[in-house]
Structure 1
Amino acid sequence: MTESSSATGGEVDQQAQAELLRLRGSIDNIDAAIVHMLAERFKCTQEVGRLKAQYRLPPADPARERDQIQRLRDLAENARLDPAFAEKFLNFIIAEVIRHHERIAGA
């Protein structure tokens, strides 16, 4: 078997390995960007939570949440991302934001 042959017997083509490393590097960079964007988003939602607590507003805003879910589903569809996945992702974030708002209100 030559070095440029397909992966068999545990050997991986050097070009394929290089491409795999390049793609994984891109994935790692994207993951880092996602984490930083989420951190920035949560900084903003913490401020919202403080305002809600100050004005005795409820931690959850179902109308806003519905609008945001639909907006994210539309964005996902336009980006060729599964809208159901995008909705699950946003619901996870919304639940965390509400938890933060409840904690802030109770402080």
Structure 2
Amino acid sequence: MTPVPAVPPELASIRQSIDNIDAALVHLLAERFKCTQRVGHLKASEGLPPSDPDREAQQISRLRSLAQESGLDPVFAEKFLGFIVEEVIRHHEEIASSRT
């Protein structure tokens, strides 16, 4: 069996930073989904559709700008937001259908 080489301290430190950022992302996503659940309930109670294409387009544009300013690929940021919005809409549809 080949021995596993020791992880250099700098690599271990960077990995720890990545782990911390991943944990923060999960917590932030959980908070975001708590807010979007509230939005879904408000939309359902007001008879509004689960999807708001104008709002979604504004958010995509805003996120692409933020990504570019931050040195993140705007295409990746848009894909990431698209995935989240798709899940939010699914939740809103479930909320709306449970009220009928």
Note whether the superposition's TM-score is higher than 0.5. yes
Question: Unaligned 5+ residue runs, structure 2?
Answer: none
Select which of 70, 77, 83 maps to 2:68.
77
Q: Give the whole-Å Cα distance in 2 for the aligned partners of 1:72 and 1:36.
A: 19
Structure-2-length-normalised TM-score:
0.92
Structure-1-length-normalised TM-score:
0.86
| CA shift for structure 1 position 85 | 0.2
Is 2:8 the counterpart of 1:17? yes
| CA shift for structure 1 position 26 | 0.2
1:24 aligned counterpart, secondary structure? helix
Aligned length: 97
Q: Which one-letter code corresponds to 1:90 in the other structure?
A: L
Q: CA RMSD, aligned part only? A: 1.6
Residue 78 of structure 2 corresponds to 87
* Larger RCO (alpha carbons 8 Å, 6+ apart): 2
Q: Which one-letter code corresponds to 2:33 in the other structure?
A: F
Q: Which one-letter code corresponds to 2:13 in the other structure?
A: R
2:8 aligned counterpart, secondary structure? helix
Pair 11,38 (structure 1): closer, same or farther in 2 beyond 3 Å: closer
Question: Unaligned 5+ residue runs, structure 1?
Answer: 1-9
| CA shift for structure 1 position 11 | 7.5
Max radius of gyration: which structure? 1
Question: Greater helix percent: which structure?
Answer: 2
Q: Give the whole-Å Cα distance in 1 for the aligned partners of 2:52 and 2:4.
A: 55
> Structure 1 segments of 4 or more deviating over 3 A?
none
Residue 39 of structure 2 corresponds to 48
Q: Which one-letter code corresponds to 1:44 in the other structure?
A: C
* Identical amino acids, percent of aligned pairs: 64
Q: Give the whole-Å Cα distance in 2 for the aligned partners of 1:36 and 1:95.
A: 19
Q: Which one-letter code corresponds to 1:24 in the other structure?
A: R
